[in-house]
Amino acid sequence: MNTVALELVPPELAEGTERALEEGCSAAELCRLHGLVEHVGHVMIPGIIPEDADRPVPITPRMDVLDFWKTIRSSLGAVSGLCTQVTVFHDEQRLDDRVHRLRDAGMDGITFVGKPHGLPATDAPGVTPQEALARYRESIPHRGVVLIPTRRGELGRFDAKCERGANFALTQLLYSDRIVGFLREFAVRTDQRPEILLSFGFVPGMEQRVRLIDWLLHDDGNDLVVREQEFVAGIADGSFRQRRDALVDVYRRVLDGVHDLGFPLSVHLEAPYGVSAAACETFAAMLDYWSPRTEGTGMRPSSGTRPHAPTEEIP
């Protein structure tokens, strides 16, 4: 795909299509103002489902991925769609229908996701992501899975998913360069070279009190995750400029480390608290360093970033 995918989360169902259209137009305008239009080739729309009760921001019923995509598509210009699809609540027939509808609506790629945090396996008896990968191997050109480089046993798990038919991976939000070592090990272990969508998330100041990103990362007893949580907590306490520079530094270290390992690379940009001017300014600074959409046009990584007008962030 060699793309930059900007994540847009479906709005609350009760807010209706008017709110969805407003969010699509707002995101498009922010991309235009911050020079992202030339980079963003896809919109990533996650399927939102209930998770652990201790989630810092409660999940309210959200607009369906398909409805949201159909509502905002015309306001986004020449971009394509990617989405996540939880498989374990569907039997084969229902999942077939869902996947075909996603493809008919113009979704280029689907990331198949398993059961949510804290849900017993007995409550998710449907199709597993591995089964979905094999089932749609011939009919879906871009079949993705979630890749969490800090998770125990992930090397073997990821290798098995690629064997079943995954040809791209959407990483967990990256707040360290752990993915570099992971992909180096994976490259030695196997000849599989799936496309990697490297995920980078903006950290606003409100993370200090809400701690949503901290919750998204958590993995009890995992020291690698603790270090990433500490990094997020540390920069959340800084100024916007400090946070932006720290996140761009992580981006540089990751890209420098994985660029020559033989994996096709794309970038996934996420603003867990919502797309904002501050988030887009940070994303633009990242893409000034390297973008899959401009590689091959003579652009090379540089040590500087484009000067931006100061952004006043709402706390």
Domain that holds residue 186: 4-289
Is 310 a member of any domain? no
Domain count, the chain: 1
pLDDT of residue 58: 83
Inform me whether the pLDDT recorded for 27 exceeds 80: yes
Residue 103 lies in a domain: yes
How much is the pLDDT for 120? Answer: 67
pLDDT tens track for 28-42: 999 999 999 999 999
The more confident residue out of 309 and 294 is 294
Name the residue with higher pLDDT: 274 or 116. Answer: 274
- Decide if 302 is inside a domain: no
57 within some domain: yes
Quick one: average pLDDT of 281-300?
80
**Residue 91 placed within a domain:** yes
pLDDT-derived band at 257, boundaries 50, 70, 90: very high
76, part of any domain: yes
Give the CATH number of the domain where residue 45 resides: 3.20.20.220
Indicate whether 220 pLDDT > 50: yes
pTM for the full predicted model = 0.91
Domain membership of residue 295 (yes or no) is: no
Structure confidence at residue 40 (pLDDT) = 97
Give percent of the chain with pLDDT exceeding 90. Answer: 83
Higher pLDDT, 59 or 171: 171
The predicted pLDDT at position 49 comes to: 78
Query: 307 in a domain, yes or no?
Result: no
- pLDDT of 311 over the 80 cut: no
Tell me how many degrees the CA angle 288-24-68 measures, rounded to the nearest 5.
125
* pLDDT score, position 315: 37
